[in-house]
Amino acid sequence: MQKRKLGNSHLEVSALGFGCMGLSSGYGPATERSQAIALIRAAVEQGVTFFDTAEIYGPWTNEDLVGAALAPFRAQVKIATKFGFKVGPNGERLEGLDSRPAHIKEVADASLKRLGTDVIDLFYQHRVDADVPIEDVAGAVKELIQAGKVKHFGLSEAGAKTIRRAHAVQPVTALQSEYSLFWREPETEIIPLLGELGIGFVPFSPLGKGFLTGKIDANTKFDAADFRNVVPRFTPEARKANQAVVDLLSTIAPRVKATPAQVALAWLLAQKPWIVPIPGTTKLHRLTENNGGASLELTAADLRDIHIASDQMKLTGERYPAHLQKLIGR
């Protein structure tokens, strides 16, 4: 798989990364540990060198899983993890955020132990904490970088003003936010800003939380533990209304001898050379399919057709329930 650099940094990773969250939480029951380890190692074998996790995934269990799976390959891969949500003493999710500098440093030490590594390649603030100045957050990560515990600083779902303020204290290597044909809002302000500042972009949910694969429709039933059950964009009515974007991909796919998912990923990669999507999956055949999108080159005509059609679509439903929506774009 081809490599890309995230912005002006020296952080070079595979063109597609692997989002590990779904192996432990979010989309239903956790994947059996040995199967999850095998899948992560299969990703390495297929050329993936960039793996994404977070303290809150599980909580804690995903970092432990990723660390164990990547231990034999640690020198050839990059691991990104995140801080900022509150976690109880027994690993239970708590309400609210916590990006106090002292807490950031505690999380870094705990993540290093769970990951079984000496350094975190990319350490993101998971969501902007309105109670802690972003300068303090950036300063704390800067100290972790100076201490050799972290190599690069990242933000997730941050707004333009926050990105600028953080970048002035400690250069931001990457922003991780949702971006796909299912959610193009970053094109308005965020992507131009990242280009200006030399910051890489790591789109999560690059397949629209599975919707752009074409395998989900208005009749699909999700597992009781699947968070899409509470996402407004995934109500049966919204899925039916949003089918047009899947129909678009399904029209392009046969023309380029690919699947809708591969077209969606290739479209993202074609937007900027410093964009590195991180699709996730729990299935080997989906992993292989997704990685095939990295070698698909869409023509200028293909990209034009996709843009013209996509520009005419008005998608239905917010991408988060209200209590999470308010954490976006601070």
pTM score? 0.97
Q: Is residue 74 part of a domain?
A: yes
Active site residue 320: no
The stretch 296-311 carries a mean pLDDT of 96
Q: Is residue 261 part of a domain?
A: no
Report yes or no: 272 and 201 within 8 Å, Cβ to Cβ.
Answer: yes
In the chain, the number of structural domains is 1
Name the residue among 76, 87, 141, 146 with its Cα closest to residue 114. 87
Residue identified by tokens 């990319």 is 122
User: Could you give the CA distance from residue 324 to residue 14 in angstroms, rounded to a whole number?
Assistant: 30
Q: Is residue 318 part of a domain?
A: no
Q: Is residue 44 part of a domain?
A: yes
Task: Please report, for the domain that includes residue 28, its CATH number.
Answer: 3.20.20.100
CA 274 to mean position of chain CA atoms? 14
Q: Is residue 305 part of a domain?
A: no
Q: Is residue 326 part of a domain?
A: no
What pLDDT score was predicted for residue 323? Answer: 86
User: Could you give the CA distance from residue 232 to residue 196 in angstroms, rounded to a whole number?
Assistant: 33
Q: Which domain holds residue 285?
A: 3-210+268-296
Q: Is residue 86 part of a domain?
A: yes
What pLDDT score was predicted for residue 150? Answer: 98
Q: Which of these is catalytic: 57, 124, 179, 320?
A: 57
Q: Is residue 176 pLDDT above 90, yes or no? A: yes
Q: Is residue 304 part of a domain?
A: no
The stretch 173-202 carries a mean pLDDT of 98
